[in-house]
Amino acid sequence: MTTTLSPTSPDASVRAVVDLDVAGPTISRHLYGHFAEHLGRCIYDGFWVGEDSDIPNEGGIRLDVVEALRALRIPVLRWPGGCFADEYHWSDGIGPRDQRPRMVNTHWGNVEENNHFGTHEFMALCDLLGTEPYVSANIGSGSVQEMSEWVEYLTRAGDSPMARLRRENGRDEPWRVPFWGVGNEPWGCGGNLRAEQFAPLARQYATYARNHGDNALYKIAAGASDDDYHWTETLMKEISTLGAKDPHLVFQAVSFHAYTFSGTWGAKGRATEFSEDEYYETMRRTLRVGDYIAGHAAVMDAYDPEKKVGLVLDEWGTWWDVEPGTNPGFLFQQNAMRDAIVASLHFDMFHAHADRLVMANIAQTVNVLQAMLLTDGEALVLTPTYHVFEMNAGHQDATSHAAHLTSAVPTREVDGQAVPLVSLSASSKDGAVLVSLTNLDADAAHTVELDLRGRAVHEAQGRVLVADALTAHNTPDLPDAVAPVALEGVTLTGGVLRVELPAASFATVSLQAADA
């Protein structure tokens, strides 16, 4: 692996024009979604501590976790997996907790699961977070009837068998469950199926995932890994065949998964111990996700030019080797400044493809992979990635505005590929303008000049996330080693926004439109 800096001068400004009066696609708030699997300490010791815990909780749900996540305005939470979903039988997770059967979590650590966190607990968590639930159904080891009855249990009023069972378990009114996942990674842990096997199976299962009352399911067919465009095309053929006969599509979306690491699947690299070359290789691989999104979108456009079917990236983020001394099946990793930059780049790519990409769910919310939060007993740590989500929250449901480059962007050659060292995106909503900027350069500051046209703006205020090292991370002893601070190098003159970005940093600048 080799990296070479381009000849572009590191202190030459990157210049772009942003037309604030030209509306791009709306950036769905669901692009800032999350994922919580029964894996390691994400659910147990993360979200769930039990009602008898000394840690403040409501019905067993940890309240400091809820408070921290509410600040992110989490729009959607995917559960119970992941690979766990395809061995999870939902009826084991209802009724009195002390009577629920145990199971073995064969995918993640081979530990025993007591099913204390089940359907009612998940829906209570969503209520506390103010978020919409995204439930992943068991296709791998479940049945059509099992999935159909879960939908009925969750969403049907009246006196049907499952609605009556729900009342017996303490919930009178049905819940609203908008998002329904049909399978998970069926090409791997969800059944080791070929696309041609899964597509008709998913169509069969989806047929029996009924809409009850006014709860309209948004059904998401489990999709590809990375750039497996054949899988997406196979699903789109199934959708388009049904769509020609029935205007109500069997699926409303298809998904795919893409993880980022610097090494191999067997040796992914360490979260807080890595070289500069490994850092740049991580950036190169991160930017491939934009190519994947474009590739899947192109396949979908051929079958669905009106973009009625959404694309969902419901697992993304960094995946490093587990921290030494921890259970290898728990996927616990630290979260460094490098991870924050990975997250900020993803969001710029999401914003650029907001016409087709309708949801994304980072893996995972607490204590697993690229988490927002790390818990250690009573201690709670906000990760660098958490701060990227918080700083970018203003993009949710905002109108995107394309940035048209008028100068070259400095690049670094990484294994024969030119990696741009500056990334940015912009949006507006309710008279507020938000610009996000990332400097990937590990060694040099860069200046960005944005000519903001079409609307007069004022009151530019910047924040920056930067650290003294790419490996910097937060711990209970040093909870603010990586935390946002005011960005001083921001000026606005004659509609031109000038931002000085420190090396290896993520920044946001908020402005107000004069006509708001």
- Known catalytic residues are 185, 315
Residue 236 CA, chain-centre distance (Å), reads 23
Closest CA to 507 of 347, 337, 384, 388: 388
Q: What angle do CA 289, 474, 44 make, to 5 degrees?
A: 80
Distance (Å, whole) CA 247 – CA 304: 13
Kindly tell me the sign of the dihedral angle through the C-alpha atoms of 445, 446, 452, 456. Answer: positive
Q: What is the DSSP string of 232-263?
A: HHHHHHHHHHHHHH-SS-S-SEEEEEEEE-SS
SS (H, E, C) 81-123: CCHHHHHCCHHHHCCCHHHCCCEEECCCCCEEECCCCCHHHHH
CA–CA distance, 370 with 42 (Å, rounded to integer): 11
Helix (H) or strand (E) holding 70: helix 63-70
Give me the amino acid identity at 497: L
Distance CA 190, CA 195 (A): 12
CA distance 76 to 130: 9
Q: How far apart are CA 286 and CA 227, in angstroms?
A: 13
| Pairwise CA distance, residues 161 & 145, whole Å | 13
Q: Are 116 and 53 in contact (CB under 8 A)?
A: no
Task: Enumerate the H helices of 194-330 as residue ranges.
Answer: 195-207, 229-245, 276-303
The one-letter amino acid at 320: W
Peptide bond just before 109 cis, omega within 30 deg: no
Number of neighbours of residue 516 by Cβ within 10 angstroms:
11
Query: Other C-beta atoms within 10 Å of 97: how many?
Result: 17
Q: Minimal CA–CA distance to 412: which of 246, 266, 276? A: 276
**Tokens 């669901």 — which residue?**
30
